[in-house]
Chains A and B, each alone.
Chain A
Amino acid sequence: MREVRLSSILIKGARVIDPESKLDAPRDILIKERKIARLERSIRADKARIIHARDFIVVPGLIDLHCHLRDPGRPDEETIETGSQSAIAGGFTSICCMPNTDPPVDNEGIVNYIYKEAARVGLCDVFPIGTITRARAGKELTEFGELLRAGAKGFSDDGDTVADNNVFRHALEYSRTFDVPIFEHPIDKSLAQDGLMNEGLVSTRLGVKGSPAIAEEMIVARDLMLAEYTGARLHLCHISTRGAVEQIRRARKKGVRVTCETCPQYFYFNDEVLESFDANFKVNPPIRGEGDRQAIIEGLKDGTIDCIATDHAPHCQAEKELEFANAPYGMIGFETAISLVIMELIDKQKMSWLKVIEKMTVNPARIIRERARSISPGTVACITMIAPDMKWKVTADTLKSRSKNTPLLGAELTGQVAGVIQKGTLKYSLKEG
């Protein structure tokens, strides 16, 4: 009888960055039977598959708190399958998908569907966020308890703010019953109107209708007041303005239970890129001015901003080929996130690897109450290997996402994911595609 044996993997010579244990040192990692068996300066294991990782940064599998997989509803744009492929190629082993699908994730049936489909695909963990209100209509609360029991990790009407103050108050209060976070998309519609880009000198020059920073900051102010009043856990999504960062910083000091995220597009670009009228730069909230961009980086550095999320938002090409005014908001982000992090935050020496990776692993894990898969003996091996100096060109062919709506098409980036081990199995390798 043949012996059935799980193959082991030996990662040799990597620089291991593990925020939980504050480790930043060269280590060998031996993975056996799905778990990290040993973590030492030098390991010899004859029967293991060896990954030579001398040029790699090895980190725990990245976690993205904010993405859109368009499933169910828009298989022409993305599915759980193509989204998982894209996420894993970007180094993410866990992703939280926002519930603005068609139909929206407002009942446990859709939550079950997402888990089932993600398991069938078997690449990364996909954690559904449920809607705050039925049909995302902003009126009646969804069944938080039922949704949580099915596996929802939080609640959001992302794409829209819960405009009604009283509904949002009740959402926060009700969430306390389960101590679960409310993910808010903070933009006041009546102030933003149908603003297409940041309101500022660039929108003035281009004659494009602007969405002012105060549209975001007003809702952030309201939300922080309500979070303080109710004692609930508030997570503010895709923060993009200086005023929002400042308010969150102050609220933190007062002890308000608030966390927040930003996205690479808000610390990498400023609104001057809109001069191209490239609809792939049209996102919501809009890419802001240089002062806001600097404030976002400051917020990341001083810890006000907990997480770097992608807000991966696939859109079909035909819709992005419309006039700027008519194109939908959003850009894809899984596969370029780590490059932008490296180019803007690491290579310009604004933040250390440990600090950056903390915002892409342990911090988001804490918010959704998931275990961060730290790189330490005994934990299930979820590992992302990054080639930080590798130059690569973004092309439609190389992107795994079904949608190609990124303004970085054709751009040459630095830093790429070289491989991903999910629960002990090599699920992605740059060489093998």
Chain B
Amino acid sequence: MNPKKDLIGIEKLTAEEIYQYLDLADNFLEVLARPIPIVPSLRGKTILTLFFETSTRTQISFSIAAKRLSADVVNFSQATSSVKKGETLLDTARNIEAMKVDGVVIRHSAPGAAAFLGQHLEAFVINAGDGAHEHPTQALLDLMTMRQHFGSVKNLSALIIGDITHSRVARSNIFGLRTLGARVAICAPHTLIPVEIEKLGVEVFHNLDEIIHDFDVVMALRIQLERQQAGLFPSVREYRTLYGLTRERVGRMKPKSVIMHPGPTNRGVEIDPDVADGEKSVILEQVKNGVALRMAVLFIHAGGKIE
């Protein structure tokens, strides 16, 4: 299969394309288990990680993935928008082009920023999160983790709890899960659910206690404190009371179900510490799979060769 130049989102991917990433990621997981977990696939390629929003773990994950493939990695991060420097994103793109980079991993607060960069660069672009739009590698590693646990994603039932409106993780997961044939539900107060979301084929709930027992996968999203300041929910305390993953609630989940979280967690808010570290939690597996999955993504888009 000939992949598209860029990976901007999950929405436009076919099931075959998703499985291609997941299958290769499973192979790389074996590589990562070796004593010397490095392959020479991308030797001589230069990957730039361009993070305009702080994110330690995603940038490190991409960085490690690139190094495991023997690529040269340049990391750049600046929490301020390029606008403040008086430089447009297009200027940035042109400069990158001039420096002959093979691939760019971009994180940006503006939806569409990755697509914009992709349109203007010959180098391949991997979206590491663009505003509330998409975070495709997160969804792919989540799907990979689910497949590991249940053997298949098809016909699984997944519940995503939290701020759906502002979550790129939720969007990418909804698209991916639907494409692979899973049942998807979301649960949050009305203020954190975007309009017409049910048209994406998701069930919408507001009372967690009525439904938590019904799902194989329960995914909690990080709740941002500024949403409370914007009046979208009254307090962290009430949020935890209504939507927090507490030991008591988790006790009512399906026997073989798992708990996921894209990290970083607000312990004691959307997820209690004992639940995050508990037996149902696969949060650290997600992180581990993340490196393998990102290796697969970089490999495919950089046109790597399997030896």
- Listed in ascending order, the chain A residues whose CB lies under 8 Å from chain B are 199-201, 203-210, 212, 277, 318, 321-326
CB pair B116–A323 under 8 Å, yes or no, is: yes
| Inter-subunit contact B108/A323 (CB<8 Å) | yes
Give 10 nearest A-B pairs by CB, closest first.
A277-B112, A207-B132, A323-B110, A207-B133, A325-B110, A204-B194, A201-B196, A321-B90, A324-B112, A321-B88
Query: What's the Cα separation between A210 and B109 when bound, in Å?
Result: 16
Q: Which residues of B contact A322 (CB under 8 A)?
A: 83, 88-89
Per DSSP, chain A at the interface is: loop
Q: What is the distance, in angstroms, from A396's C-beta to the closest C-beta of chain B?
A: 15
- Bound complex: CA A210 to CA B108 (Å): 19
Known contacts being A205-B171, A207-B171, is A200 close to B111, with CB within 8 Å? Answer: no
Residues from chain A with a CB closer than 8 A to the CB of B83 are 322-323, 326
Can you list 8 A-B pairs, Cβ within 8 angstroms, ordered by A? A205-B11, A207-B132, A207-B134, A208-B112, A277-B112, A277-B115, A323-B112, A326-B83
Q: What chain A residues lie within 8 Å of B11 (beta carbons)?
A: 205
Task: Give the distance to chain A from B47, nearest Cβ to Cβ, in Å.
Answer: 22
Chain B contacts of A326 at CB under 8 A?
A: 81, 83, 110
Write out the residue numbers on chain B whose beta carbons fall within 8 Å of the beta carbon of A204: 194-197, 200
Across-interface contacts of A201 in B (CB, < 8 A): 195-196, 199-200
Is B111 touching A207 in the complex (CB atoms < 8 A)?
A: yes
Q: Which residues of B contact A200 (CB under 8 A)?
A: 195-196
- Chain B residues numbered 185-205 whose CB sits less than 8 Å from any CB in chain A: 194-197, 199-200
A201-B199, A204-B195, A323-B110 given; name 15 further pairs at CB < 8 Å.
A201-B195, A201-B196, A205-B11, A205-B171, A206-B133, A207-B134, A207-B166, A207-B168, A208-B132, A323-B81, A323-B108, A323-B112, A324-B110, A326-B81, A326-B110
A-chain residues with CB within 8 Å of residue B304 when the two chains form the complex:
none
Complex Cα spacing A238 to B112, Å: 26
A314 CB to closest chain B CB, in angstroms? 18
A208 touching B195, Cβ below 8 Å: no
For B108, list chain A residues within 8 Å (CB): 323
Contact B88 A206 (CB under 8 A): no
Complex Cα–Cα for A421 and B97 (A): 49
Give the residues in chain B near A208, CB-CB below 8 Å. 111-112, 131-133
The interface centre, meaning the residue of B90, B110, B134 with most chain A CB atoms within 10 A of its CB, is: B110
Contacts of B109 in A (CB 8 A): 325
Contacts of B194 in A (CB 8 A): 203-204, 210
Min CB gap A243→B, angstroms:
15
**Given the known A-B contacts A206-B133, A207-B131, are A318 and B195 also in contact in the complex, defined by CB atoms under 8 Å?**
no
B113: interface (CB < 8 Å): yes
Determine the distance from Cα of A142 to Cα of B130 in the docked complex, in whole angstroms. Answer: 44
- Please determine whether B116 and A277 come into contact, CB atoms closer than 8 angstroms: yes
B51 nearest CB across to chain A (Å): 14
**CB-nearest residue of chain A to B130:** A207
Interface string of B139-175 (1 = CB under 8 A from A): 0000000000000000000000000001010010000
The residue on A at minimum CB distance from B230 is: A193
> Quick one: which of B83, B133, B194 has the most chain A CB within 10 A?
B194
Residues on B with C-beta less than 8 A from A210 are 194-195
- A277 touches which one: B81, B88, B111 (CB < 8 A)? B111
- Binary per-residue interface labels of chain B (21-60) against chain A in the complex, 1 for a CB within 8 Å, 0 otherwise: 0000000000000000000000000000000000000000
Contacts of B81 in A (CB 8 A): 323, 326
CB distance from B7 to the nearest CB of A (A): 16
Shortest CB-to-CB span from B172 to chain A, Å, is 10
A217 to chain B, nearest CB (A): 15
A323 to B53, CA, bound (A): 14
A206 to B168, CA, bound (A): 9
Complex CA distance for A209 and B88, rounded to whole angstroms: 21
Contact of A324 among B88, B111, B196, B200 (CB under 8 A): B111
Chain B positions 253-280 with a Cβ under 8 Å from a chain A Cβ = none
For B199, the chain A residues whose CB sits under 8 A away are 201
Pick from B113, B134, B197: contact of A323, CB under 8 Å? B113
A199 to chain B: which residues have CB within 8 Å? 195
Q: How far is the CA of A212 from the CA of B166 in the complex (A)?
A: 16
B112 neighbours in A (Cβ, 8 Å): 206, 208, 277, 323-325
Instruction: A203 to B196: give the CA distance in the assembly, Å.
Output: 10
Interface flags, B94-114, vs A, CB<8A=1, else 0:
000000000000001111110
Query: Please, which residue of chain B has its CB at the minimum distance from the CB of A324?
Result: B112
A204 to B199, CA, bound (A): 10
Q: A203 vs B88: C-alpha distance in the bound complex, in angstroms? A: 24
Residues of A within 8 A of B88 (CB): 318, 321-322
**Min CB–CB distance A197 → chain B (angstroms):** 10
> Which residue of A is nearest B8, CB measured?
A277
A324 surroundings in chain B (CB, below 8 A):
110-113, 116
Beta-carbon nearest neighbor of A209 in chain B: B132
- Greatest chain B CB density within 10 A among A204, A207, A322 is at A207
Residues of B within 8 A of A206 (CB): 111-112, 133
Smallest CB separation, A342 vs chain B (Å): 30
Shortest CB distance B97–A (Å) = 14
Q: How far apart are the CA atoms of A323 and B89 in the complex, in Å?
A: 7
Given A204-B197, A207-B171: A325 in contact with B115 (beta carbons within 8 A): no
CB distance from A132 to the nearest CB of B (A): 30
Whole-angstrom distance between the Cβ of B253 and the nearest chain A Cβ: 28
B193 CB → nearest A CB, Å: 9
Complex interface: chain A residues within 8 A of B110 (CB): 323-326
Bound form: Cα–Cα A201–B108 in Å? 23
**How many angstroms from the CA of A321 to the CA of B88 in the assembled complex?**
7
A interface footprint on B67-86 (CB within 8 Å = 1, 0 otherwise): 00000000000000101000
The smallest beta-carbon distance between A272 and chain B, in angstroms, is 13
CA distance A212 to B134 in the complex (A): 22
B134 / chain A contacts, CB cutoff of 8 Å: 207
Complex interface: chain B residues within 8 A of A277 (CB): 111-112, 115-116
Which of B108, B115, B168, B200 has the most chain A CB atoms inside 10 A of its CB?
B115
Query: B91: shortest Cβ distance to chain A, in Å?
Result: 8
> In whole angstroms, how far apart are the Cα atoms of A207 and B197 in the complex?
11
Nearest chain A CB to B197's CB is how many angstroms away?
A: 5
Instruction: Contact check, A205 vs B200: say whether CB atoms are below 8 A apart.
Output: yes
Question: How close is B163's CB to chain A, nearest CB, in angstroms?
Answer: 12
Complex: how many Å from CA A326 to CA B88?
10
**CB <8 Å contact, B131 and A325:** yes
- Minimum distance in angstroms from B116 CB to a CB of chain A: 6
Q: Which residue of chain A is the closest to B131 with respect to CB atoms?
A: A207
Q: What A residues does B111 contact at CB under 8 A?
A: 206-208, 277, 324-325
Give A272 to B39 CA distance when docked, in angstroms.
Answer: 43
